[in-house]
Structure 1
Amino acid sequence: MNKPTLRKFKRSKKQVTSTTNSLIELTLNEMFNNFIATKRAEALAPRTISDHLNNFKYFKEFIGKDLNRNEISLEVFRNFISYMLHEKNLSPVTVNVRIRTLRAFIRFCYLENYIDDPIHENFKPVKTPQDTIESLTINELKQLFSVIDEEMYTGFRDKVIILVLLDTMVRISELVAMKRSNVDLSSGFIKLEAMDTKTRRSRIVPLSSKTIKLLTDYIEETNDFGSDDLFLTYDGRNISASTFRERLTYYGELAGIKNKRVSPHTFRHTGALLYIMNGGDPFSLQKILGHGHMNMVRKYIQMTNMDVRRQHNNFTPLNGLFKK
């Protein structure tokens, strides 16, 4: 007896159900509220939720109103990308951060049957130059520190924060989440809790003796606040990432650093590059940065031609072959 021939069905990207033909009538804001509620239920990190909220806020400011389902089109998102690049003059890296969060939201809308077309498939991250990661030179770092008024509490705190960012190479979201109880000054380590890291894995970052000394002074200075949060505003509240970004922008302008962005992530890049330039190995750097793959570490240690020449002069294979 012949076996029956099996039919092969091609699955579409969007499952067809009995309710597919009746799209759910929600406005863009209502769709986003449902998206955020879903992401919170999935236990996304607070930092990730905050990124979605902030980037959607920028998009809402651009469109200037709520949209109904029929007004949500590919053209709206392409216009937003053009606006960010050519009117706001944002870097491609910043633009891509906003694009990725919006694509995740619009994909959710499509899968939830809020919109009919897979718009997210047709607006993608823009191309970026190969060398998009900037770092500061030693002279630029010295310029930056020279404009900070350490006599003021906020200035002293900012200097300590910058040193911690450089020394530990943590992300700003990880830094503002630090607690005093995470700091072990006697051993020279800070523990980053899993819930506060991008990878959702805890890790230990080491501190140099210079940072330990200043951090000890800072912790003694802030004892009276009675807060377990490590880095505090002048009135004892936990400092926010956005507040410190604004502080760094101000210092960068004051120091005359015009062609580079002075940001928390710039210190992460700078710390990684200087770590390698000072003789550190990429494997220990990978562990400090908290990256699972070495390809990400490579991005952090892009060297200029002068950097390469200096390293070559120190470590050339000819060293030891001829007497100096």
Structure 2
Amino acid sequence: MKKNNNIHYAIDDFMIYCKQKDLRKKTISSYESTLRLFARYTEDNHNVNDIKSITQEICRDYISYTKDRGKYTFVFDQNTKYINMPENREDYGKKVSITTINNYIRNLKVFFNYCVEERVIKANPMDKIKQFKNNRKPKGQVTDEEFKRLLQNIDTTKYSEFRDYVVIQLIMDTGMRIGETLSLEVNNVDLDRRAILIPQDITKGRKDRYVFYSQTMSKLLRRWIQYKDRYVESDLLFSTKRNTRLEVNNFEKNFKKYCNRIGLKDTSAHGIRNNYARRFLMAGGSIYTLSRLLGHSSVTVTEKAYLDLSDEDIRKNYQQFSPLENMKR
């Protein structure tokens, strides 16, 4: 077997290619973890490490195996099990979600397409393998009353809680991603035009984009900036009191704590962005405009993400646009 036919060498070349394309670290990590596990599976279960010997049947077997096994029960390096101790996780052994399986399928397709383009292999063994139909779980919605109670139970006399109080409302008013919001600097905010520039280095799509906020939010932002400047010297809009960037997972933990205070369940920090999108559409906003504001790569992505308006949402929205009622006006 030629050295460059070894699947691990092919994966190494692919990872260099991903790095050269300036993909985000999270995306690169997703590709690598998927591919290393796949390579380990082909070696252990089919005694195959020559990329030219990988068949559609082997790929199908791997997808079935992955679908049936429990979470964290299969790892690339067995030594890491003694370090990370995955069996201590609450979700150890639980069913792998269809979303995760579909991500694996997508990653493998991209990798083998690359190998075809580089003429390492002649055909993509993943070509005829389709993603699983995924019954989408409706996104959790927060009522006006729940949102008001959530804000009322945040202690704004504390620096960290006042900061989160502002972050929550800013995301609800703009639809920004949590990571984007927490990476903003003060100079990204145009207080006169009530606009925020999200620079390409912190957006998911690597493109600059603007979002806009309300008069109510403008007053709150001005108040926050004045307050922040009294306690920390940071270019970041929402720094910690130690003058460091607030990490997404820490904000998510804080948000869960606030929800627990009022018994609000099935709501995540990312759900604020989902609620923004639903409310934007319900107010008559166009899906094209929403797609631009959310920073989606296409309107199709937006349509797929927000197809779960409830019957009650549709009923309320219909009353604004009934042809017969509008004729009477």
Question: What TM-score, normalized to structure 1?
Answer: 0.72
130-139 or 219-228, which moves further after superposition? 130-139
* Deviation, structure 1 residue 307: 1.2
2:16 partner letter: A
Q: Counterpart in 1 of 2:78?
A: none
**Runs of 5+ consecutive residues of structure 2 not aligned to the other structure:** 72-90
Shift of 1:77: 4.5
Structure 1 residue 151 displacement after superposition = 2.8
Partner of 1:22: 2
The superposition leaves residues 53-86 of structure 1 with CA deviations (integer Å, 9 ceiling, x where unpaired) of: 1575588799999968836953444423334689
CA contact (8 A) 1:165 1:171 kept: yes
**1:91-240 alignment runs, 5 A limit:** 91-105=97-111, 107-108=113-114, 118=124, 120-121=126-127, 124-129=130-135, 132-223=138-229, 224-240=231-247
| Displacement of 1:42 | 1.8
SS of alignment partner, residue 197 of structure 1: coil
Deviations 1:236-279 (A, max 9, x none): 21123333334334444554343x35142x22221011122234
What is the CA-CA distance between 1:190 and the residue it aligns to? 0.3
Question: What does residue 273 of structure 2 align with?
Answer: 268
Is 1:308 aligned with 2:294? no
Query: Partner of 2:248 in structure 1?
Result: 241
2:267 and 2:207 mapped to 1: Cα distance?
A: 29
In structure 2, the CA distance between the partners of 1:24 and 1:286, relative to structure 1 (3 Å rule), is closer
**1:82 is matched with which residue?**
68
Unaligned runs of 5+ in 1: 1-20
Higher alpha-carbon deviation: 180-189 or 225-234: 225-234
Contact 1:180 1:228 survives alignment (8 Å): yes
Higher RCO (CA < 8 A, seq sep 6+): 1
Of all paired residues, the percent bearing the same amino acid is 25
Q: SS in structure 1 opposite 2:196?
A: strand
| Total equivalences in the alignment | 297
Match of 2:263 in 1: 256
Which amino acid in the other structure matches residue 66 of structure 2? F
Aligned partners of 2:165 and 2:38: how far apart in 1? 36
Q: Calculate the aligned-residue CA RMSD, in Å.
A: 3.9
Tell me how far apart the structure 2 counterparts of residues 32 and 254 of structure 1 sit (CA, whole Å). Answer: 47
1:50 aligns with one of 8, 15, 26:
26
Distance 1:158 1:62 in 2: 40
Q: Of 11, 23, 48, which aligns to 1:70?
A: 48
In the aligned structure 2, how far is the partner of 1:54 from the partner of 1:130? 22
Q: Is the 8 Å Cα contact of residues 105 and 131 (structure 2) preserved in structure 1?
A: yes
Is the contact made by 1:56 and 1:102 (CA closer than 8 Å) also made in structure 2? no
Tell me the SS of whatever aligns to 2:323. Answer: coil
CA spacing shift, 1:320–1:50, aligned 2, 3 Å: closer
Indicate how the Cα distance of structure 1 residues 31 and 315 shifts in structure 2: closer, same or farther if over 3 A, else same: same
Give a deviation string over 1:66-123, Cα, whole Å, max 9, x none: 9688369534444233346894346533543454345434654676688999454465
In the alignment, residue 18 of structure 2 is paired with which amino acid?
K
